[in-house]
Structure 1
């Protein structure tokens, strides 16, 4: 046990060294220290071996198990794999702290959590909100049962409800705070309805970042700013589309040409990647730097592109499928620059009963992008003022 305590201390100190404990929410660090990751971890965790997720059992390999539970500040711990894909985890410490800070949680706040998983985040919420103030929803009955056990051992007074997260808790609320631990493309309207006017809702969006929304006084909309970058698991049962290899297939490219931009910003600058995710919501981009930069782009369906940019010389793009993704990428990149190249924290979201859109700089006058558009789609195309 001393080894686990040492690993916990190392993670805590690394968070401090990297200035990742939120200064405005000092309670987060205290809560995390009092709810160690290993006390909520499953006996079996999972590690990617290059081809698949392989199980690592505490009883058989305690050292490796411990290293996965206490990885780096940005390393999550996979606690469940279903049909070859991760479906539950202990989120990485840095993102846990950042999202809790974004929630602006105060003692006494009634709080709804969507996605109980192991129960650790619910325990952290309860430390701040107080006994009997946190309700957590988990779709998987086995996970819910295990979380109840974990929470009981941690003496955290949390109600765990088995149900579909997108529904919240029908008939309950309104809650002062609502927090999701999994990614959604569109914020379920039930979450907004179950948050009191003036209340705050924090959720991952699109598996790439998280947003904090404040519900309007009339309860008819929720608006707020992006809070940070991270990759999140999607809601259980989400169709994640095809992976790169399936989209690429074995066919030769049907188009080849020069790519007029350097790929370095796409690889190094998260602001560029996030902006392209906003403007091209269905496009997935992965980059790698090795003697230059390579980008793999696809739509999860039938169109793909590979862009190879050597350290010197012209970048070349190869693509296939019905869409010309390279052109879409170049146009989206240009659109972002035309609107002043806003950074991550200059983007925000608005959700109404009818629609959801991302905006930059100002929710009323800034450019807007629909979150379900298959290609470039700004508010100007809807007849709104830019």
Structure 2
């Protein structure tokens, strides 16, 4: 970097540190993270080209041409990721939001001397932070994209870190080099946890991963290694597993592509205000648990219904079913839907059940993984209500 770029970087780091402090995003239980962020700032792991959404498409922002724009994209906010790669018009890699990285690594409960498998190297930043904590030679990372793996190796080496990066599928392959690890940290979203991840971690060890379209979870492997379970930790949104593009892919088709020019097949009045979904993320998470394939977006005056003003909620299943929750011409909330399933009714039923459960927050949910089945639960892992993950679980409550 040039002298001017170094000065910009220093200013950005100071502002990020202060904003993380103001928002309470530096984890109290993991003070090492603040020091690691300072020692290994994200610009060391960022390519010279980032990508910005201009409202229509992702456009390149190049460091040599637009250094102010580049740094603004890299350090836009604690809750914002920086897109580092675009494939077929969609993001395919990024430097994750600083607050989310801190939260997930805090959830990992990583201690010096522990062996770590970092699944999904990307640019190598989270592997670098883990290595700063664990120590030399204790972090191994897997990346399916050979070009990204090479980039991460070079940046990790430049930072003086002893981290092994291998090309391969972390979803399908075991720990590179064999054996078991104390901690597994995934940087791409999966709906179902590969059983190979549980087998890769020692009893009592931790697995932290982004869960499908919304949320991240920390599992503890059982003492007998026969399963793992743990609580939801936060609201991370990550890109899906690229070895299985249709699985837990947060991009997916847009609402307009699913609906096309189809007219509503059903319409009915609602007894609740769709605008609640715009801000209540605990409710949004409950719907994600109960209807995991429902893609939900909110806004003002969107969609294709007959009233173009006021809050609107668009829902689709990534296939052919869709719904709109919006005000009609008289301002009364209505549901429009179409397609082979009534996904709007499914969302409303899940909403009603969440209210019946006492409106639990997202941290009151957890996940259990066994060799044969996986399920989410609320309140109590043994006696609370359950929802299947991946279509299989042993019992319903």
Return closer, same or farther for 1:56/1:17 CA change in 2, 3 Å cut-off.
same
Q: 1: CA distance between counterparts of 2:360 and 2:7?
A: 47
8 A contact 1:105–1:129 mirrored in 2:
yes
Residue in 2 that maps onto 1:66: 71
Question: Displacement, 1:337?
Answer: 2.1
Residue of 190, 201, 215 corresponding to 1:195: 201
Deviations 1:189-247, CA, capped at 9 Å, x for gaps:
11100000000110000131100000001101000000000211111141245321111
State which drifts further: 307-316 or 72-81.
307-316
Q: 2: CA distance between counterparts of 1:70 and 1:47?
A: 12
Question: Displacement, 1:82?
Answer: 1.1
1:299-314 mapped onto 2 (5 Å cutoff): 299-309=317-327, 313-314=331-332
Residue of 204, 212, 221 corresponding to 2:218: 212
Matched, 1:183 2:183: no
8 A contact 2:275–2:312 mirrored in 1:
no
The alignment of Structure 1 onto Structure 2 pairs a total of residues equal to 379
8 A contact 2:140–2:176 mirrored in 1:
no
Residue in 2 that maps onto 1:229: 235
Question: Displacement, 1:292?
Answer: 3.6
RMSD between aligned residues:
1.7
Residue in 1 that maps onto 2:293: 282
Question: Displacement, 1:289?
Answer: 4.7
Residue of 285, 305, 312 corresponding to 1:294: 312
Residue of 242, 255, 260 corresponding to 2:253: 242
Gaps of 5+ in 2: 1-5, 302-308
Matched, 1:270 2:281: yes
Residue in 2 that maps onto 1:37: 42
Residue of 169, 175, 183 corresponding to 1:169: 175
1:1-386 mapped onto 2 (5 Å cutoff): 1-166=6-171, 167-169=173-175, 172-237=178-243, 238-239=245-246, 240=249, 241-289=252-300, 292-309=310-327, 313-373=331-391, 383-384=395-396, 386=397
Report the 3-state secondary structure (helix = DSSP H, G, I; strand = E; otherwise coil) of the residue aligned with 2:105. helix
Question: Displacement, 1:311?
Answer: 11
Gaps of 5+ in 1: none
Q: 2: CA distance between counterparts of 1:142 and 1:52?
A: 23
8 A contact 1:281–1:372 mirrored in 2:
no
Q: 1: CA distance between counterparts of 2:164 and 2:395?
A: 46
8 A contact 2:376–2:389 mirrored in 1:
yes
Question: Displacement, 1:282?
Answer: 0.9
Report the 3-state secondary structure (helix = DSSP H, G, I; strand = E; otherwise coil) of the residue aligned with 1:165. coil
Question: Displacement, 1:170?
Answer: 5.6
8 A contact 1:339–1:367 mirrored in 2:
no
Instruction: Give the TM-score normalised by the residue count of structure 1.
Output: 0.94
Question: Displacement, 1:171?
Answer: 5.8
8 A contact 1:292–1:311 mirrored in 2:
no
State which drifts further: 265-274 or 168-177.
168-177
